[in-house]
Amino acid sequence: MFDRRRRDFIGLLGGAATWPLAARAQQARRLPTIGFLGSGTAAALGGWTAAFVKRLGELGWIEGRTVAIEYRWAEGRNERSAEFAAEFVRLTVDAIVTVGTPTTVAATHATSIIPIVFVAAGDPVGTGLVASLARPGGNVTGVSNQQSDVTPKRLELLREVVPGLSRLAIIGNTENSVTAQEMGEVENAARTLGLAVSTLEIRRAADIAPAFKELKSLVDALYVCTDGLTIGNRVRINTLALVARLPTMHGNREQLEGGGLISYGANNFVVYQRAADYVDKILRGAQPADIPVEQPTKFDLIVNLITAQALGLEVPPMLLARADEVIE
């Protein structure tokens, strides 16, 4: 009788001792973790990031419950992209999501093992991010915003709204290799249309105001190349453009904030949702090398009538009829 009670007591002690360990182990079990490296600021990319998180939730990855997301914001600075990419490697995240080309390049320099899903990277083959769109190879894949016919289309739209357009300025972050490429494409397309071109090269936010001073009102419109730096400083750019009475062409709707006139480009809400689909596949075991890179199929034309009126421009009714959205 005494031996049986002794065995029960020892068993009870053993259970009491092991239960906290098991509970702690369960609590400490690590959620799959995504490192999200934004090219701009949290405020500038907030809507698109929310679309990404929402789509993840629809796929069963609930932030804070079934997946953890570590957010970092490069604010258009390449050195910050490199620092944050290295931090994600130290954190041993399960996947890295990068926005734009510079952040993706930084991530590829930091790791050749952790899967990388890029969002809105331009020319992923030309920049060496992937071997081909159909067979990316390596640890990188995603959704590109590369479309060869977008630049001429933007200039055609701008000419519809700005009668007598003959002199065009282009502003862009030349530290971004894809932006530098886009600036060249805009310049070539503009000259084909008989437009004189001025280029404003910026590398940081402090360069924006001096760049506008160089214009001295010698141009009729401004083409704004899209990247983390110009998105993060869209209000400053558009405000300066309004002061100079310059109509602006942008790559997405969000850049119209602060007085931009027109945007034409991929629907980034759709692009970010597709990126979430890529992450879902990877977290379930798919390899980036086997997932083809996608290119956008939906492009939105947005016209800001408030800005048009402030600039004294009359937007042709036919263009308004084609617009996906009119801000008024």
Distance CA 104, CA 82 (A): 10
CA distance 236 to 244: 12
Residue 225: pLDDT band by 50, 70, 90 thresholds? very high
Q: Where on the phi/psi map is residue 163: left (φ > 0), alpha (ψ -120 to 50), or beta?
A: beta
Taking residues 140-151, what's their average pLDDT? Answer: 84
Q: In CATH terms, are 33-146+267-299 and 150-266+300-327 the same topology?
A: yes
Question: Does residue 69 have a pLDDT over 60?
Answer: yes
Tokens of 40: 């701009």
Q: How far is CA 145 from CA 3, 212, 248, in A?
A: 75, 28, 20
Which is the CATH superfamily of the domain at 33-146+267-299?
Response regulator (3.40.50.2300)
The answer on pLDDT for 25 being more than 60 is no
Q: Dihedral of CA 301/304/309/310: which sign?
A: negative
Question: For residue 39, what is the DSSP state?
Answer: S
**DSSP assignment of 152-214:** HHHHHHHHHHSTT--EEEEEEETTSHHHHHHHHHHHHHHHHTT-EEEEEEESSGGGHHHHHHH
> Residue 1 has what pLDDT?
46
Class of domain 150-266+300-327: alpha beta
pLDDT band at 250 (very low <50, low <70, confident <90, very high): very high
Q: Using CB atoms within 10 Å of the CB of residue 15, give its burial: 0 to 12 exposed, 13 to 18 middle, 19+ buried.
A: exposed
CB-side neighbour CA atoms (13 Å) of 35: 28
Q: Is the pLDDT of residue 284 over 90?
A: yes
Q: Name the residue ranges covered by the structural domains of the chain.
A: 33-146+267-299, 150-266+300-327
What pLDDT is stored for residue 177 in this prediction? 85
**For 190, what's the count of Cα atoms within 13 Å in the CB-facing half-sphere?**
23
If phi over 0 gives left and psi between -120 and 50 gives alpha, with beta otherwise, what is residue 73?
Answer: beta
pLDDT digits (tens, 9 = 90+) for 78-96: 899 999 999 999 999 999 9
Give the chain's mean pLDDT: 89
* Distance in angstroms (rounded) separating the CA atoms of residues 74 and 53: 19
Q: What is the pLDDT of residue 148?
A: 60
> Encoding tokens for residue 184?
């060249």
* Least reliable range by pLDDT among 19-33, 159-173, 214-228: 19-33
Joined tokens for residue 76: 């258009």
How does pLDDT run across 167-213, given as a tens digit for each residue?
999 999 998 888 888 999 999 999 999 999 999 999 999 999 999 98
